[in-house]
Amino acid sequence: METIDRKGGSALWHQIGEILAADIAAGIFGPGEKLPTEPDLMRRFGVSRFTVRQALGHLEHRGLVRAEQGRGTFVHKGVLDYSLSKRTRFSKNLIEQGFEPGGELLVHEIVPAGDRVAAYLKLAAGASVIHRRGVMTADGVPIELGDSYYPADRFPDFDKARLQYQTISAALASYGVTDYERLSTEIEARMPTAEEARLLRQPKSAPLLITRKLDADVNGVPITYSESMWSAERITFNVDLR
């Protein structure tokens, strides 16, 4: 049984979490590898199941591991190298590096375009746009919290199209947008709000990378403007100018 400080000021679950985090950093548990079971960890540290679950929850909140129902807890595969290019595609970026893309839609609504959104999409101020907010994941770990805007007149019933098609590209193709390119990407950094940190399951002390991007169809007509918040601990951007 591994000794932990039961009389110190640090909670037992926090000590266990830090020990396991050090094991991951040292490569004792490699990317994609399954951690010991809860009973194994209970025996290793001489603590209750509740304490072990608190420690594992702490690791998951930091983005170091992911829990899979009925299978166990696995080490996250590490930092994602995300390519920014004229033909950036979220799912393709992840799949090529062995990550499984996923996500959760939080908001779908039709709203008047604000000044910034209208200017990027070349719409009249106040024109109707589709606003979608969602959390995108890699192997179940949140990496992006994004707000996307589409011209409502061009993409009616877009929520139904997204349910029907697996990817954004396929949904856009159903409206005749068979291809599209990135016109611009702006990047900056800032600290998260409490809500952003909660949705990305990261500490409030960890910074975000913010991207503002504009995509257009083959005729150069803007189709979507997005503002995304990325967990800087979990991603690096590779700008491809080719």
Among the candidates 35, 51, 75, a domain finishes at: 75
Give residue-wise pLDDT tens across range 65-121: 878 778 889 887 667 888 888 888 888 888 888 888 999 999 999 999 999 999 999
Residues 60, 29 share a domain: yes
Q: What is the CATH number of the domain that holds 44?
A: 1.10.10.10
Structural tokens at position 232: 């800087």
More confident residue, 15 or 71: 15
pTM value > 0.75: no
Quick check: 64 and 31 in contact, CB under 8 A? no
Cα atoms in the 13 Å half-sphere on the side-chain side of 192: 24
Q: Do 207 and 136 have their domain in common?
A: yes
Asked whether residue 71 is domain-assigned, the answer is: yes
Asked if the structure places residue 146 within a domain, the reply is: yes
From the CB of residue 36, how many other CB atoms can be counted at a distance below 10 Å? Answer: 16
∠ CA 109-222-99, rounded to 5° = 70
Residues 89, 70 share a domain? no
Which pLDDT score, from 0 to 100, does residue 128 have? 98
The predicted-structure confidence for 163-215, as pLDDT tens digits, reads as follows 999 889 999 999 999 999 999 999 999 999 999 999 998 878 889 999 999 99
Determine, yes or no, domain membership for 62. Answer: yes
Query: Reduced to 3 states, what is the DSSP secondary structure of residue 131?
Result: strand
